[in-house]
Structure 1
Amino acid sequence: MTICRDCCCGSARKHPDVDHDAQLAALRAAVGERHRVRVSECLSVCERSNVVVVHPAPAARRAGARLVHLGDVLEDHLVGAVAAWLDAGGPGLAEVPPVLTPRVFDPADYAD
């Protein structure tokens, strides 16, 4: 999984009510050693900050699963939902949890 933490994502200016460091720590703690968490510079979809990109497991990717982009991941319960989805198999192996479905977006819709 990749977490955007740059100009808007992770910004106290844009999201002053979110403890971005605590959110990242909670996500890392929730997935533990089972899943890798990368921090990225700007992913250029600032309209959807905070952005989390969920990667399919290698077997699912070989079977055709693709990255899933989630935007507006601002509440703690969403962090738990992402972790639970990964533990259930993630993209290509488990359905997107209903609480995350409204947050799925196509980054091509935001391309310049």
Structure 2
Amino acid sequence: MPGKPSPVGSLPCRFVVCRDCCCGSPKVSGVDHARQTARLAEEAPVRVSDCLDVCDHANVIVVQPSSEGRAAGGRPAWFGLVNDSAATEDIAAWVRVGGPGVAALPDILELYAFTPPRRARSGPLTDAG
């Protein structure tokens, strides 16, 4: 089972990876998209999404907070231009220590963090499930 086990009744952090027209495609060269997704799945569940409508930030990874993080006020964290393994590792390490609402965002991840337009935020990532 991918990701770390969580206490009964709680949900772990989850990843959403964009894999459609730009993200996850040959348009973003030099990235092993399958390896990136597999690496993230080693830390937490991964959902592969169609276009998140922020193509100018390809490759996009969204970290949804755990139930503990959400209870503490954590909200989904959006990261763009995640086009190398070091950036993927930095995001995985942050999730490993708790992610949104639990652990402070490391300075290095500020380089990748962005606020998506309202139309992207109102999509499937706003649900709790």
TM range (shorter): 0.7 to 0.9
% same residue: 44
Structure (1/2) with the larger helix percentage: 1
Size of the aligned set, in residue pairs, is 106
- The answer to whether structure 1 residue 25 and structure 2 residue 34 are counterparts is no
CA RMSD after TM alignment: 1.6
* Equivalence map 1:66-85=2 (5 Å): 66-85=75-94
Measure the CA separation in 1 of the matches of 2:69 and 2:89.
22
State the match for 1:10 in structure 2. Answer: 24
Instruction: Give the gaps of 5 or more residues in structure 2.
Output: 1-14, 121-129
Aligned residues of 1:3 and 1:53 also touching (Cα < 8 A): yes
Secondary structure of the 1:91 match is: coil
Runs of 4+ residues deviating >6 angstroms: none
Distance in 2, Cα, partners of 1:63 & 1:96: 14
Contact residue 17 and residue 49 of structure 2 kept, 8 A? yes
Measure, in 1, the Cα distance between the counterparts of 2:66 and 2:108.
21
- What TM-score results when the alignment is normalised by the length of structure 1? 0.86
How far has the Cα of 1:27 moved from its partner? 2.1
Letter in 1 for 2:33: H
Q: TM-score, normalised by structure 2?
A: 0.76
Deviation string 1:10-57 (CA, Å, 9 cap, x unpaired) is 011x2121121122122223x1xxx21111000000000100000111
